Amino acid sequence: MVDRFAETFVDPTGKPVADMEVKAWQRPDPSRPRGRQTWARGTTDREGRFELGGLSAGQFDVSVVGSRASPTKPTTVTLSENHDLTDVRIELPAAGEVRGTVLDERGRAIARATVSLRGGPRPFGTMVADDGSFKIEHVAVGAYEVLAASPRGNCGSSTRTHDLNPSQ
């Protein structure tokens, strides 16, 4: 068993990312088709670090999970028998947020409306506040179609395409 596996997660500017849930799952070893595979989950601290223990030696895919994470390709790390791995650094991709207001044709907020983003690496969605405002955080860079729907159906001409790009 590997005693410890530690990582640091940072944003694109190098700043530590706290309170991110991460998971590591062991890749199957083709030479041992019936071999035991281990996995673990953890949460980053204020310095963007976390530790996992009790993992078997082998290759692991490590990724961020949960609603705060933009989709990323897993990072592969190799753990050796009886050896701590403490110098892994993973940079999260650039992400942003989409904010807006959902109003009817008279300019009034639409109660219980939902807003969704489609067309990017993964779908996002949220329910609007009573004043019609919404905010969707941790959206991966890309072009999205923004759709709004009320409990009574579509909100009319609410579909728009936006390109979320941090360089603009």
* Structure-block tokens of residue 9: 């997660």
- Residue 123 pLDDT more than 70? yes
What domains are there in the chain, each with its CATH number? 5-91 (2.60.40.1120), 95-164 (2.60.40.10)
In contact, 104 and 110? CB cutoff 8 Å: yes
pLDDT 10s digits, 21-68: 888 899 998 888 787 888 888 888 888 888 887 888 889 998 877 656
Q: Hey, CA dihedral for 57, 70, 145, 130, is it positive or negative?
A: positive
Helices (H), the chain: none
Predicted local confidence at residue 133, as pLDDT: 92
pLDDT 10s digits, 9-21: 787 788 888 888 8
- Residue 129 pLDDT more than 90? yes
Of 1, 2, 58, nearest to 31 (Cα)?
Answer: 58
Q: Hey, CA dihedral for 122, 126, 132, 134, is it positive or negative?
A: negative
